[in-house]
A and B are shown apart, each in its own frame.
Chain A
Amino acid sequence: MITAQLDGILPVNPSPELTERKWWDYFTFNTDHKVIGIQYLVTSFLFYLVGGALATAVRKELSTPEVDFVSRELYNSLFTMHATVMIFLWIVPAANGAFGNFLLPLMIGARDMAFPRLNAIAFWLIPPGGILLMSSFLVGAPASGWTSYPPLSLMNGKWGELIWILSLLILGTSSILGAVNFITTLLLMRRPGIGLNNMPLFCWAMLSSSALVLISTPVLAGALILLCFDLIGGTSFFNPTGGGDPIVYQHMFWFYSHPAVYIMILPVFGLVSEILPVHARKPIFGYQAIAYSSLAISFLGLIVWAHHMFTSGVPGWLRMFFMVATMVIAVPTGIKVFSWVATVWGGKLRLNSGMLFAMGFVSMFVIGGLSGVMLASAPFDIHVHDTYFVVAHLHYVLFGGSVFGLYAAIYHWFPKMTGRMINETWGKVHFVLTLVGFNLCFLPMHKVGLAGMPRRVAEYDPQFAAINLICSIGAYLLAVSTIPFVINAVYSWVRGPKAGANPWNAISPEWQTLSPPPIENYLGEPPFVPDPYDYGKDYNPGKRPMSQVKAADLWR
């Protein structure tokens, strides 16, 4: 049994200096990737709650057709900040910074990342960037959508917009510094014997995501710098009356922001590829296909940005190219989905919270992917652009996709990170509330979007009132659903039952060490795991007669 094998290498009384982390370490400039990963996770989750509060306020306003909860201007700020916070302060840092940092060195048998101090610097840019962004509420938060198109974004409050630009520049820098670390670590610090083709799939996902961060985030920085000059420098980069062109902003902005969605989902794809085999007790189906499809999505993700601009007056040949390229991206994504389904097919499923969220991820993401392929078609998109159909799509892929996947990862690696087991019953309650609340909130949006309800407006035609009320109830349910999770997570972290090194009997390298891992990850040499998905293949060693084989043998 794997646990028995570990008895030989895990010392009974490891020295405290190798295993103990004081709680205050997590509040300092600490270079340990595991500490940094948890710092990213907790910080980004706090911003998730902030973004969620903003969303609840948005949905409260939208529960009736009239403008009766907040002013129109404040409403515009609410949805602008909701999106900005969720993207730059929750999903990007959580998927990349949190899990990338915590897991990568463990998965490749390294003791830390390539540049631990740079890693800590990258994390410590997040809290000031986030606080700066939130401070914009004091001077008039930006109110032109998270896309901040000029000329509108240059006409609303200058200070709010300036703060928005500066905080995005800070957060983007954090992202880029993280990517430098991930790429270097993955390419140069794998344990001897671990090649690119037998490292865990999360590593492939992080490589692909980091390549996107590296290439596209700087272009956003360029766009923001030019926007900033227009805002406070009196230039006219994006002002037609001064010889500029607002479409240039859109191109530069979306050159980043489309890859940004892959930056938000690729790591989650990788996490799900790690979680499903463990709880289905089956090897991942199609390792090579999943690995290379991550690279394909990364590359294709750089050449589809103008599908956000089908109604901006761009020429027909451009729309045609981007329509086709966008549809092509569905292929590697579909390859992953089929591989995940094939992975759980015929498996002996352990339906714990992590697995439920991972499977929920697959189904919800597929729905989002279907609406995505619809939106890829320019003729269709022209009718539903800036309607709630797009809002429905983006939330199915970002919430049904990324957030479900992040929850799955939190439940799955909670024992490794904290050394304790999170309560399963409350995890299942959290899952059901989330699944119901999420679908209640976003599924009906497809319908009102198709019927023409525009997005980013505080009031709407009364014909949409009933459905909007349903959506808002779903949103309130989602808000409530976070409560059992937060209480469960905090309580279990402090007083949950001890987890042991490998509560899931998993094979991948991070489970072959203590929970939480000692300060330099492994005591002695890092374990050599030639195949991290080697589940259930050898359930009958010695070829005993089948009458002597028990079901428990499947559960190694």
Chain B
Amino acid sequence: MQTPAIDSQLLIPTHEPIHGHGEAHPDHRMFGLIIFLIAEGMIFLGLFVAYGTFRVVAPEWPPAGTPELELLLPGINTLILVSSSFVIHNADTAIKKNNVKGMQFWFLLTIVMGIIFLFGQLYEYNHTGFGLKDNVFTSTFYVLTGFHGLHVCLGIGAMLAVLWRSFKPGHYSPAHHFGIEVAELYWHFVDVIWIVLFLILYLL
């Protein structure tokens, strides 16, 4: 008998249950989310590099006549957003101890902090003293912070969805709380992007 290229023993169906018919298989969703966040990160990176290029080639930055950015309110906003990342982490700790109520509380708190951040942004938009079209600095300011704000909204939406689902008894447990992990990772991502944004737009 010739040596087969394919081991025929392994081709004979075994008595193991056929994979995928309702039995558990590994959960790859977190890996997928991380891969997706690489793409999300790249879109921000592209916009950051564009900002950097405009800045480097400009004779004066910010361009002459641009009202100065105040630092107090955005600084407070930054503190709120960064601490909200710690707050949401408490939710993860809570669900790991099967404390659904605790998780819901921390999520609600994070949502509130996120909404405060957004209101802070809107307030700032009204008080910058410059508009979208004034010059390349103001345009990138609004587009970058606005795009980030959009992602904050998506993160809040994800948290609301998770909060909604958590009212179904037994939906989240120490073993199954992927939704909470998703919302948390996404929120951390949004936070990190803001830190970079704050650095390059306000501080540097």
Chain B residues whose C-beta falls within 8 Å of the C-beta of A525 in the assembled complex: 10-11, 13-14, 16
A245 to B140, CA, bound (A): 13
Interface residues on chain A, number (Cβ under 8 Å): 61
- The reply to whether B47 and A222 contact each other, CB–CB distance below 8 Å, is yes
Known: A512-B11, A524-B18. A219 touches B45 (CB 8 A): yes
A56 to B132, CA, bound (A): 44
- The reply to whether B133 and A235 contact each other, CB–CB distance below 8 Å, is yes
| Bitwise interface map of A from 227 to 244 toward B, beta carbon under 8 Å scored 1, else 0 | 001000111110000111
A5 to B1, CA, bound (A): 12
- The reply to whether A237 and B50 contact each other, CB–CB distance below 8 Å, is yes
- The reply to whether A245 and B28 contact each other, CB–CB distance below 8 Å, is no
Chain A residues whose C-beta falls within 8 Å of the C-beta of B29 in the assembled complex: 115
Least Cβ–Cβ distance between A512 and chain B, in angstroms: 7
- The reply to whether B42 and A243 contact each other, CB–CB distance below 8 Å, is no
- The reply to whether B133 and A248 contact each other, CB–CB distance below 8 Å, is no
Chain A residues whose C-beta falls within 8 Å of the C-beta of B19 in the assembled complex: 111, 520
- The reply to whether A534 and B43 contact each other, CB–CB distance below 8 Å, is no
Known: A8-B11, A225-B143, A235-B132. A176 touches B46 (CB 8 A): no
A466 within 8 Å of B (CB atoms): no
Closest to B40 in A: A218
Closest to A523 in B: B13
Least Cβ–Cβ distance between A196 and chain B, in angstroms: 16
A251 within 8 Å of B (CB atoms): yes
B139 within 8 Å of A (CB atoms): yes
| Bitwise interface map of B from 28 to 53 toward A, beta carbon under 8 Å scored 1, else 0 | 11011001101111111111011001
Partner of A243, one of B6, B41, B135: B135
B20 within 8 Å of A (CB atoms): yes
A527 within 8 Å of B (CB atoms): yes
Least Cβ–Cβ distance between B93 and chain A, in angstroms: 27
Chain A residues whose C-beta falls within 8 Å of the C-beta of B43 in the assembled complex: 218-219, 221-222
- The reply to whether B50 and A252 contact each other, CB–CB distance below 8 Å, is yes
- The reply to whether A236 and B136 contact each other, CB–CB distance below 8 Å, is yes
A530 to B7, CA, bound (A): 9
A sample of 6 cross-chain residue pairs with beta-carbon separation below 8 angstroms, ordered by A number, consists of A112-B20, A221-B43, A234-B133, A236-B133, A252-B49, A524-B18
A86 within 8 Å of B (CB atoms): no
Partner of A245, one of B21, B36, B53: B53
- The reply to whether B13 and A528 contact each other, CB–CB distance below 8 Å, is no
A236 to B49, CA, bound (A): 16
Known: A235-B132, A251-B53. A5 touches B6 (CB 8 A): yes
A189 within 8 Å of B (CB atoms): yes
Partner of B50, one of A9, A216, A222, A242: A222
A261 within 8 Å of B (CB atoms): no
A223 to B140, CA, bound (A): 12
Chain B residues whose C-beta falls within 8 Å of the C-beta of A507 in the assembled complex: 5-6
Least Cβ–Cβ distance between A434 and chain B, in angstroms: 33
A8 to B31, CA, bound (A): 38
Closest to A519 in B: B20
- The reply to whether B50 and A5 contact each other, CB–CB distance below 8 Å, is no
A474 to B46, CA, bound (A): 41
Chain A residues whose C-beta falls within 8 Å of the C-beta of B14 in the assembled complex: 524-525
Interface residues on chain B, number (Cβ under 8 Å): 51
Chain A residues whose C-beta falls within 8 Å of the C-beta of B20 in the assembled complex: 111-112, 520
Given A222-B47, A242-B133: 19 more A-B contacts, CB < 8 Å:
A5-B4, A8-B11, A114-B32, A176-B36, A188-B28, A215-B38, A221-B46, A225-B47, A225-B143, A229-B139, A236-B133, A237-B140, A244-B139, A245-B53, A520-B20, A524-B12, A524-B18, A534-B5, A538-B3
Least Cβ–Cβ distance between B44 and chain A, in angstroms: 8
A216 to B40, CA, bound (A): 11
- The reply to whether A6 and B11 contact each other, CB–CB distance below 8 Å, is yes
B63 within 8 Å of A (CB atoms): yes
The B51-97 residues at the A interface (CB cut-off 8 A) are 53-54, 57-58, 63
Partner of B147, one of A184, A225, A236, A530: A225
Closest to A215 in B: B42
Chain A residues whose C-beta falls within 8 Å of the C-beta of B7 in the assembled complex: 528, 530
B169 within 8 Å of A (CB atoms): no
- The reply to whether B136 and A244 contact each other, CB–CB distance below 8 Å, is yes
The A66-120 residues at the B interface (CB cut-off 8 A) are 111-112, 114-115, 118
B2 within 8 Å of A (CB atoms): yes
Least Cβ–Cβ distance between B166 and chain A, in angstroms: 22
Chain B residues whose C-beta falls within 8 Å of the C-beta of A494 in the assembled complex: none
A226 within 8 Å of B (CB atoms): yes
Please provide the 3 A-B residue pairs with the shortest distance between their CB atoms, ordered closest to farther. A524-B13, A541-B2, A222-B46
A479 within 8 Å of B (CB atoms): no
| Bitwise interface map of A from 389 to 423 toward B, beta carbon under 8 Å scored 1, else 0 | 00000000000000000000000000000000000
- The reply to whether B139 and A236 contact each other, CB–CB distance below 8 Å, is yes
Closest to B5 in A: A534
A214 to B44, CA, bound (A): 13
Closest to B35 in A: A180
Least Cβ–Cβ distance between B137 and chain A, in angstroms: 8
Partner of B31, one of A188, A226, A512, A523: A188
A244 to B140, CA, bound (A): 10
A523 to B18, CA, bound (A): 8
Chain A residues whose C-beta falls within 8 Å of the C-beta of B2 in the assembled complex: 538, 541-542, 556
B126 within 8 Å of A (CB atoms): no
A187 to B11, CA, bound (A): 24
- The reply to whether A184 and B47 contact each other, CB–CB distance below 8 Å, is no
The A326-359 residues at the B interface (CB cut-off 8 A) are none
| Bitwise interface map of B from 141 to 156 toward A, beta carbon under 8 Å scored 1, else 0 | 0010001000000000
- The reply to whether B54 and A248 contact each other, CB–CB distance below 8 Å, is yes
| Bitwise interface map of A from 1 to 28 toward B, beta carbon under 8 Å scored 1, else 0 | 0100110110000000000000000000
A245 to B44, CA, bound (A): 19
Chain A residues whose C-beta falls within 8 Å of the C-beta of B42 in the assembled complex: 214-216, 218-219
Closest to B32 in A: A184
| Bitwise interface map of A from 362 to 390 toward B, beta carbon under 8 Å scored 1, else 0 | 00000000000000000000000000000
Closest to B57 in A: A245
B26 within 8 Å of A (CB atoms): yes
A242 to B35, CA, bound (A): 37
A183 within 8 Å of B (CB atoms): yes
Chain B residues whose C-beta falls within 8 Å of the C-beta of A229 in the assembled complex: 132, 139, 143
Known: A180-B39, A252-B50, A512-B11. A2 touches B4 (CB 8 A): yes
- The reply to whether A180 and B32 contact each other, CB–CB distance below 8 Å, is yes
Known: A237-B50, A243-B136. A531 touches B5 (CB 8 A): yes
Residue from A237, A255, A530 having most chain B Cβ neighbours under 10 A: A237
A217 within 8 Å of B (CB atoms): yes
A251 to B39, CA, bound (A): 18
Least Cβ–Cβ distance between B71 and chain A, in angstroms: 24
